[in-house]
Chain A
Amino acid sequence: MVLGTVPERRRMEEQARTVGGALSLIDDILPAGQGVGVPDAAAGDPLTTASWVTVPDVGAVMAAMADRLAQETATRERTELPAVAESLRPRLPRIRTPYDVTEFAGRFEALVRSIEVAGRLGRLDEARELANLGAAFVLDGQPPQPETWISELAGNLYWSIASATARDSYYHQALDHYMAAGAAMRRAGLPSGTRRDHALWVTDLCLGLLEHRVPPRRRLIDLATTCLAEIGRAHAAERPVVRVTFAVARAAEDRAKLAELADPGFAGQEALTVGELRMAQALARMAGPADWKRVFGPFAAPIYAWCADVPHADAFTVFGELGTDEGLPTAGAGFQAVQAGQVTFAEDGCDELGTRGRRWVGRAAGQPDGGEDAYFVDGVRRPVRCAVPTAGMNSLARFARREDDEVPASVRFLFALGRACASDPSIGCQIDAMLRFFRGLDESVASEACGAILIGAVLDMLPLSTLGGYIAHLETGADHATALRRAVRRVPVAPVATVPVSSS
């Protein structure tokens, strides 16, 4: 394994001792703008001579990045947006001036954009004037009108006002107009495909507002549900419809709808990711905490938290594993890391080799048929069938070999949780249910927590020296009982006959 040149790494670590130094290293690695928005580890990784740099405080570096971004954006907007506002001004619609439909639509769009720009510049009086101008065209002081086009324009106007003035209630007014437009489409007998597209669009807007936590949550869920009801059964299995249906059903905790999506006979199932399908199956199947506990035992809380999108602490409280006034223990300082291109910036408690191993195993596991990235041990090709949560277990196993006071509190808590269930007659089935649940999924906080609980459980079932063997047997597809039996007998992981990789 090439770790990069040692002197270069030392130089970078020396530089990264200060926040400013670490920041300039990241600037050197990442192309401008990368690292902002959705993370994408694969994009634009440059060649670097060191791939692991220890920094004192990852949080401080990220905080400096965030504040710098805020300042740069504010400066840029102050410089650029006035020109944008000026360029829009001649394109605004004028009262008592005749326009054809196309031109008016363009001018109204410029008006809506102008309102948003005025808001960003803090010119609220100007935004208000523009909003009044827009209202003169599309609002007459009455409730939302049934005319499709006018309703949509009114909706766009309210949406821009909400954005400019930071008044969330205007988003709801915009949605009322969009809903009125949808109703008008139905009355006018527009084709079902057109109505479907409109309903999907409005549902997406509701989901976006839900994601941004705009209140009241219940109303947004109800509006989204109403929109989806407008979409005919003929479209129910179409990919975009399935995706928003899942999102709305999950937010609404609609078990009946989730059960429909999880039904193997449902034609649109492939629109869902493996993870979403697993969530839908679990949420539909389990009526309450008792069901979750029966199926997943000590693993119920992290899996439930992941499926239902609730905080970990709340989930552990639901299952009686944490008091209502107790907090979940954390690992403490020194275990945070981020990735900039190919370089990991990590605090000194992080496990360098373990992290590298996990990335490597994870990539191999991403090839379900063991493809070209399958890994080899002693020249033998090993199909990786279970990297989650076993990759995490390999990292966490180091803590099983330490004294209690050297183990992070969070890991100690989870080990204890597993150990408490080790003699439960159902634990074998529950371990297998947990392993099946995570098969094919990406690593997550839930899988990591389950890995820690599993280590805690099996520490009472086998000698510590055989823990690595147990994990290796799970990794190659064995169930819990088989892996345990083989590990205790110190059976090596069965070599798999080398199969030439097909070029087709």
Chain B
Amino acid sequence: MTGTPPRPGDFPVALSSAGIGLFWIIEAGGRVTYSTAGEVDGVTVFGRGVRMGVRVANGADEPVTLRALRIRAKWYPEYPPTLRYHKVALPVPAPPLPFDDGQPNVLLTEDVTDGVVTVRGTRCVLAPAGEADASRVIDATIEAAVSGLWGCHIEAEYTHAAAARVTSVPVGCLVLLRGK
């Protein structure tokens, strides 16, 4: 690949946002929703976590295997102190159906302060462009498990023309977990 610029056809998979929302979780018999915390450089900061829909679309004429969707995370222990979020809690009348308590499928821990986390359950085959299954929306519910500001970028790893490729979206999101 050295010295050879990639052609558009080399990266047939496109990533885009299919909705972004506040983080919520059911704990201790209540549904707790976290507000946004402000903005940094015009980017909204979400409190404790974020719920994203990521659309993965195949633009090639042949099927593509999506091997993994990953969150590339960067942790900033120092952040503007005016960023603050609030939480609203209401009781739930009965426990939710199993696994519907809002648990994240991406947990940003001390192990990944400057690394990559794979979103569980994303491996699939995308049909050729133009077919019904050529795109898919994947839930990426991200929760910060370490206090600080987290920048998240999304990237997809897939196999195309028998070669592994990675494409990423430069625009991600910011998540804040405040120490106190």
Contact = CB atoms under 8 A, between A and B. Distances in A.
Contacts of B144: 213
Contact of B177 (A212, A327, A449): A212
Interface stretch (A63-71, A232-240, A257-265): A63-71
Q: Which of B36, B88, B103 has the most CB of A within 10 A?
A: B88
Given A63-B21, A410-B97, A410-B100, A124 B89 contact: no
Interface stretch (A1-9, A33-41, A266-274, A485-493): A33-41
B89 A39 contact: yes
Interface in B84-105: 84-101, 103-105
A167 B100 contact: no
B104 A311 contact: yes
B90 to A, nearest CB: 4
Interface stretch (B1-9, B57-65, B145-153, B166-174): B145-153
Given A36-B89, A327-B122, A358-B94, A209 B180 contact: yes
Contacts of B81: 119, 122, 124, 164-166
Contacts of B132: none
Contact of B24 (A59, A67, A396): A59
B78 A166 contact: yes
Contacts of A63: 21-22, 24, 33
Contact of B77 (A65, A164, A168): A168
B12 interface: no
Which of B22, B88, B98 gathers most chain A CB within 10 Å? Answer: B98
B179 interface: yes
A359 interface: yes
A212 B118 contact: no
Contacts of B179: 162, 166, 168, 171, 209, 212-214
B120 to A, nearest CB: 4
Contact of B91 (A41, A208, A331, A444): A41
Interface string B19-36: 001101010111101111
Given A122-B82, A339-B92, A445-B26, A67 B35 contact: yes
B83 interface: yes
B94 to A, nearest CB: 5
A69 B35 contact: yes
B97 A311 contact: no
B105 A327 contact: yes
Interface string A357-380: 011000000000000000000000
Interface string A56-100: 001100110111011001100000000000000000000000000
B142 to A, nearest CB: 13
How many residues of A sit at the interface, in one of the four size bands? 35 or more
A312 B105 CA distance: 10
Contacts of A444: 95
Contacts of A70: 35-37, 84-86
B177 A166 contact: no
B180 A443 contact: no
Contacts of B98: 302, 331, 410-411, 414, 445, 448-449, 452
A166 B79 contact: yes
A338 B85 contact: no
Contacts of B68: 325
A212 B86 contact: no
Contacts of B30: 38-39
A67 B110 CA distance: 29
A212 B178 contact: yes
Interface of A: 35-41, 58-59, 62-63, 65-67, 69-70, 73-74, 119-120, 122, 124, 162-169, 171, 208-209, 212-217, 302, 311-313, 324-331, 335-340, 344, 346, 354-355, 358-359, 391-392, 395-396, 408, 410-411, 414, 442-445, 447-449, 452
26 contacts: A38-B28, A39-B28, A39-B29, A58-B31, A59-B22, A66-B22, A66-B33, A66-B34, A66-B35, A69-B86, A122-B81, A124-B81, A209-B180, A217-B110, A311-B104, A326-B121, A330-B97, A331-B100, A336-B96, A340-B90, A346-B93, A355-B93, A408-B97, A410-B99, A445-B26, A447-B95
Given A59-B24, A213-B179, A331-B97, 6 more contacts: A59-B21, A166-B83, A325-B120, A331-B96, A447-B95, A448-B97
> Top 6 closest A-B pairs, CB basis?
A327-B121, A39-B30, A70-B35, A327-B120, A166-B81, A66-B35
